[in-house]
């Protein structure tokens, strides 16, 4: 039975990836390592508790003893590294946390894997997938072509810089040690279980409560929006079929300004909940954040040409599915927003959660 270690598997993308494995790779065993910080929620996968194919470990990816003990206890032959601090605003306020998790955590994980896997001059059939972001490439102007896997790095925020550092560390292990790592850089994800500090769930929360919807600057910053299950399928494809040492961009080709995206969201929500009235009245423009990149866009020709992956969910479909999920799971949303889910964690893990 293949055993995959998923870091950050209780978070937004990680929990969706674990669910994908559970459904489509039923012969795999999944070890989920997550520290359960504010954005990690064990409730996301509570229905898998007790399944012999799923093992949850409450721990820190930057804790050497915790990570090495996993490789000692379990026959891990694959790693998918999602664990990261990801919110740009938080990185501006406290960059040290991002350096520890994103850089030190990546070093700890990859070094522990190298020690565990290296035998007789090789690494056998092991695979290590490092999941990164389009933000490492920096900002594009309106007419610039999308970035390719060979575009130079130009991170703007402490978050992006910490992910760029982690990417280069992984590449150095490939070059120096022949380590079987792969890297993916993805565009903005959205979908079920996303923590409501991010744009789409934040807009939905504010709209449902009739509160102001904050938009930075004039709302003309451009992002490419990728439905989370499309990202998870791409990550699994790269893990299984990608060439070790290679980098693959993952995007949807769905570029929209933030203001346009918000209008689309509010339009769909207004159709589903007409009693909320004219939701555009809630849009509020706020001062732009420092170093706010204007546009990100990824050229995904490589992953399509070499691995046959392409997104299945359009932005129109994905937004409707996302809004429907949040409307059906407002209890989950309320527990996350109020912090009540922390009590669930404490009950499950006997006060070990900070």
Which listed residue (54, 123, 137, 159) is catalytic? 159
24 is catalytic: no
The dihedral through the CA atoms of 315, 318, 322, 324 has a sign that is positive
What is the C-alpha separation between 121 and 88, in angstroms, rounded?
40
Query: Do 67 and 30 form a contact (C-beta atoms < 8 A)?
Result: no
Among residues 34, 77, 135, 224, the one annotated as catalytic is: 135
Structure tokens given for 204: 């939905």
> Which one from 134, 230, 254, 255 is the annotated catalytic residue?
134
Helix (H) or strand (E) holding 285: strand 283-286
**Catalytic residue at 159?**
yes
Is residue 34 annotated as a catalytic residue, yes or no? no
Across the beta sheet with 255-257, the strand order is: 188-190, 222-227, 255-257
- Residue 221, class by beta-carbon neighbours within 10 Å (0-12 exposed, 13-18 middle, 19+ buried)? buried
Closest CA to 44 of 22, 66, 63, 71: 22
Residues known to be catalytic: 134-135, 159
């Amino acid at each position: 039975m293949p055993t995959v270690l998923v870091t950050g598997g209780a978070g937004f993308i990680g929990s969706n990836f674990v669910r994908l494995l559970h459904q489509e790779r039923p012969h795999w065993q999944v070890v989920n390592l997550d520290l359960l910080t504010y954005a990690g929620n064990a409730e996301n996968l509570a229905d898998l508790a007790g399944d012999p194919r799923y093992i949850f470990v409450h721990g820190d990816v930057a804790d050497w003893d915790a990570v090495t003990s996993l490789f000692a206890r379990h026959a891990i032959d694959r790693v998918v590294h999602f664990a990261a601090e990801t919110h740009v605003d938080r990185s501006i306020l406290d960059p040290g946390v991002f350096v520890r998790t994103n850089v030190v955590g990546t070093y700890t994980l990859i070094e522990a894997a190298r020690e565990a896997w290296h035998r007789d001059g090789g690494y056998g059939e092991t695979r290590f997938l490092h999941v990164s972001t389009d933000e490492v490439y920096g900002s594009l102007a309106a007419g610039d072509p999308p970035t390719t896997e060979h575009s130079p790095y130009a991170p703007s925020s402490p978050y992006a810089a910490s992910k760029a550092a982690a990417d280069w560390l992984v590449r150095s292990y490939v070059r120096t040690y022949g380590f079987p790592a792969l890297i993916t850089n993805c565009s903005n994800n959205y979908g079920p279980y996303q923590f409501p500090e991010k744009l789409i769930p934040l807009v939905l929360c504010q709209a449902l409560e009739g509160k102001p919807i904050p938009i930075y600057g004039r709302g003309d910053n451009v992002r490419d929006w990728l439905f989370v299950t499309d990202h998870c399928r791409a990550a699994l494809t790269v893990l299984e079929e990608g060439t070790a040492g290679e980098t693959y961009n993952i995007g949807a080709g769905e570029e929209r300004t933030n203001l346009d995206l918000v209008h689309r969201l509010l339009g769909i929500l207004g159709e589903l909940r007409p009693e909320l009235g004219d939701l555009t009245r809630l849009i509020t423009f706020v001062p732009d954040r420092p170093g706010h990149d204007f546009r990100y866009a990824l050229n995904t020709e490589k992953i399509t040409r070499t691995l046959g992956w392409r997104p299945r969910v359009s932005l129109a479909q994905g937004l409707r599915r996302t809004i429907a999920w949040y409307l059906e799971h407002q209890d989950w949303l309320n527990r996350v927003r109020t912090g009540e889910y922390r009590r669930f964690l404490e009950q499950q893990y006997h006060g070990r959660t900070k």
